[in-house]
Amino acid sequence: MQTNYTRLINKSHPLPPDYIPENLVDIGIPFDALPDDPKRLLEKKTAQSALRLVNAACQEGLCLYGISGYRSYKRQQELYTGSPYVAAPGTSEHQSGLALDLSCPAIRMQLIPEFAHTPEGKWLARNASLYGFILRYPQNKESITGVPYEPWHIRYVTRELAGYLKLTGQTLEEYLDFQERLQVNDF
């Protein structure tokens, strides 16, 4: 089965409880997790792109660390607290193997909005699209994504689409809604 890199995953478009992505691999980047922790895993193409992204940042003297990649439905159930920063089981992009949370030593590997103001966070915002990633939950788009601003959460969507979304400032929801309207109006 081919991976759908543009699949929308949110409260309105959940993944089934038994969904496990194919081709999960350890992404081979610095990670704030033990070597056998499943959160080090990503879908293979996503992992390859994440490795290129982290290596490029490192070449510029920046230290990006993985905090959370793949997360099973069961693990999401364990983590879910009702907080707007923690998705309900089935609605987390982490279950798809296409999402990665990143942080840096300057903020003690925390997932906090201040990450955006670090050199690593600024670099990520500028360069993620070059590696096929989008900042999935951008500032001032909370009413569209349904998720608070998360400058640490990136999602793989392919280089072509990531570049388009960066250029237009659209979220994945806005892009897919536009594509759907085009198909409806296409005679």
Give catalytic residue positions.
150
| H/E element, 9 | none
**How far is 22 from 44, CA to CA, in rounded Å?**
8
> Which residues lie across from 24 on neighbouring strands?
43
**How far is 91 from 12, CA to CA, in rounded Å?**
8
Beta carbons of 93 and 42 less than 8 angstroms apart? no
| SS3 (DSSP) at 96 | helix
Q: What's 30's DSSP letter? A: -
